[in-house]
Amino acid sequence: MRQVGIEIFYWLQNWSDDQVACFGRARDIGFDAVEISLISGPDTPVAAMRAELARLGLTVYASMGLPLEKDITSPDASVRRGGIEHLKRCVEAAARLGSPILGGLPHVPWLQFPPDTDLRPYRERSALAMREVAQTASDLGLTLCIELINRFETYICNSVGEGLTYLNIVDHPAVKLQLDTYHMNMEEDDLGEAIRMAGSHVGHFHCADSNRKPPGGGHIHWTTIREALDAVGYAGPLVVECFPNPDAETGRTVSTWRPLVTDYDADITRALRLLRDQVA
């Protein structure tokens, strides 16, 4: 059975809030794991996180966003070099934390779109930089997972087909794809077939429903997801990621304009039960 985890910002108001404060809440509801963000990069309080994770018996998965000033897609070689070194330090922080992956958007700044019509040079610069970072990850036993998110949030890779093309440029086994059912619902013709196309390249998996509510709140067919994950032999975690509060910085950043839950803990408990019953 696959682990089920939750992206800890489900409960938090601001990106700068203390992520450790919600670890116990996740454990009490019944999650096996939490996903945290290296929001502070290498300066993330790894020791405090690791101590609380050990106390609660939780597994951890790390994600990140690439700062604009560390943009590895940049035409400026000095900016790219700064980004590569920053990513290496983030990989080292994830390793100290005990995460087997570093996912999210290590490969491109979030919500940033270049003015150029030809985006291929940006993708190629990103992929070549990731190849260098991948060696550091491999040396530390980590996998880098690039998340395929929708066209309104990035341009680098939106679909599994584009993600596989990107991996071909990277050409390193320590880089895989991170799939998310909310984004796939917008970008893929068939979610099950997209997962099968990704195959052994699936390194991490996010679960949210078609409307970004917790699983069970939309129209995604979860047994189809399970069948496809079984077919490709995916044994990693299922991590719920949604940002339900329209009055919080976390929700507004991802364009949450109406409440996505009525009771935070009750709704996420139902989602956890659904994933255990139908997908895990």
Give the separation between CA 95 and CA 136, rounded to whole angstroms: 11
Which is catalytic among the residues 35, 187, 188, 241? 241
The span from the CA of 139 to the CA of 129, in Å, is 16
Catalytic residue among 7, 92, 147, 187: 147
* Nearest Cα to Cα of residue 176 among 128, 139, 130: 130
Q: Which of 224, 210, 208 is nearest to 268 (CA)?
A: 208
C-beta separation of 175 from 130 below 8 A: yes
Side chain identity at 103, as an amino acid letter?
A: G
User: Do the beta carbons of residue 204 and residue 223 sit within 8 Å?
Assistant: no
**Does the annotation mark 35 as catalytic?**
no
Catalytic residue status for 241: yes
Compute the distance between CA of residue 261 and CA of residue 97 in angstroms, rounded to an integer.
Answer: 31
Q: Name the residues annotated as catalytic.
A: 147, 241
